[in-house]
Structure 1
Amino acid sequence: MTAAALLLAGCGDSGELRSAGPTSTAVEPARLWPTLPPASAAADDYGSGKTEVVKGITAKGDDIHRVNPVDVVRAQEAAAAASPSPSPDPDDGRGKVVGLDDCGRKDGTKCPVLKAYYRDLTGDGKDELIVGIRLPKGQLAVRCYTFEGRKLTQIMGTSDAVVSVEIAGRDVILRAVADLPGYEYRTAWSWDPHQRAMLPTRDEILRMGAPPTQTPPPTSTPKPHPSTTTPTKTPTTTPSAPTR
């Protein structure tokens, strides 16, 4: 057998390339109403991308770990109460925090400022401060801070009926109650180096859990009809040989 024949004989072994079947044809997006002029301004202003310097809060060496989260919230609430203009971020719960006097007490279980977390959200190798604040009516405010130019700056602020808050990589992910039963909103906030702020880069509504499965009714073993019952055979005995 020649070398070519040996090579041909090896074809068809396991591991060869196989077709996965027909693939769907790629279709480019179709633009609707192509003559419609684009909008020049956003319909609503959620404060996304806006930052604010927290006055009166400093830390040695700009160490964010030395900052007291309660002092930060108190400073912002005081500024909001003294300012005639609304908060630069109307969705971060500013001016709605109650119970700050309970913070710092031995039995301060009603303190609205939750445990602080630290994570590098900007990618510069330094931690940012992540603060959760309980608001009335079951709402939760989530704010993030960093030092920029020796000034403590809020780079993210939002509030919602939050189910949970997670950190994935450098993203802050908020799960919130949706208007539709069985669904939830999920928003991922990511650092944007051009805006120098955390932006809601992914906002989606998701179905929660698997749909309930219908349990089939229990099946019973059918009983045979009397007319179809097989009669039981009476066993016959073989007579033994007579003894002599």
Structure 2
Amino acid sequence: MRAAFGLAATALLLAGCGDSGALRGAGPTATAVGPVDLWPQLPPASTPALDFGVTDTETIKGITAAGDDIHRVDPLNVVRAEVAAHPDVYSGPHAVYRQTRDRLKDCGTQGTPDGKCPLLRAYYRDLTGDGKDDMVLGIRFPGNQLAVRVYTFEHHRLVQVMGTADSVVSVELAGRDVIIRSPSTLPGYEFRTVWSWDPHQHAMLASRDEILRVRTAFRGRPASPVPSESAW
């Protein structure tokens, strides 16, 4: 028995000595290729490129709240203030958003969406990082478009820090980002734009714009993006 035990112990020691724990190669790897500067002889650009990442901020006149608490703001009054400030697109006989203005009368009191009211439910999230909630509004526009607005208080004034309108598949809040998915004319793909707060511009900017391949919708459910693939 003692001899058998000694043989077993020796075998274990020999097995342990076969692996020193040192690093071992994983086989050949591809050679790293650095970036290549194309057409270095081109002169510097003289004018800036079209920048879709810039948004205009706008102070909403006549809207205040005790303690700058945006939860006390009536979303319907905010939309009415926007309509009053932009009669060229909301009021004239050829105004593109006249139908939206007319349907505001279908909204309930205190901004509650009711029936054909174009104002959707308000959402609240701290998007600017100041520790206070901001307000996200959705307004239905003609042509199946959705306007997305973000408002915050700055120096006791209500300021719109994001405004965009487009055909929309979905709108999401993720952390401090607003993510908008929009249909693409390219079959099987959709656009996804991420809007993020920029403290230098004091505005929500389109920080990332992608076109993604999406799975085919099934039984009426919206298609979902394929996370591992991107066209650019």
Is TM more than 0.5 here?
Answer: yes
Counterpart of 1:101 in structure 2 is: 105
Distance 1:22 1:136, change over 3 A: same
Do the aligned partners of 1:49 and 1:197 also contact (CA within 8 Å) in 2? Answer: yes
1:111-157 per-residue CA deviation (whole Å, 9 max, x = no partner) reads 10100000010111111100011111110010000000000000001
Deviation at 1:42, TM superposition (A): 3.8
1:68-118 per-residue CA deviation (whole Å, 9 max, x = no partner) reads 1111111011110179xxxxxxxxx97773311111169931110100000
2:127 matched to 1:121?
yes
Q: Which one is further off, 47-56 or 63-72?
A: 47-56
Q: Which has the larger radius of gyration?
A: 1
Task: Calculate the TM-score normalised by the size of structure 1.
Answer: 0.72
Do the aligned partners of 1:115 and 1:131 also contact (CA within 8 Å) in 2? Answer: yes
Deviation at 1:32, TM superposition (A): 1.4
Do the aligned partners of 1:77 and 1:95 also contact (CA within 8 Å) in 2? Answer: no
Query: Structure 2 residue aligned with 1:182, among 178, 188, 192?
Result: 188
2:156 matched to 1:153?
no
For structure 1, which runs of at least 5 residues remain unmatched after alignment?
1-5, 84-92, 211-244
Counterpart of 1:134 in structure 2 is: 140
Aligned counterparts, 1:1-244, within 5 A: 9-12=15-18, 17-44=23-50, 46=52, 48-81=54-87, 97-98=100-101, 99-104=103-108, 108-209=114-215
Q: Which has the higher helix share?
A: 2
SS at match of 2:206: strand
For structure 2, which runs of at least 5 residues remain unmatched after alignment?
1-11, 90-95, 217-232
Aligned length: 198
In 2, the alpha carbon distance for the partners of 1:32 and 1:13 equals: 49
SS at match of 2:143: helix
Identity %: 64
Task: Calculate the TM-score normalised by the size of structure 2.
Answer: 0.75
Counterpart of 1:224 in structure 2 is: none
In 2, the alpha carbon distance for the partners of 1:45 and 1:111 equals: 33
SS at match of 1:152: strand
RMSD: 3.0
Distance 1:139 1:42, change over 3 A: farther
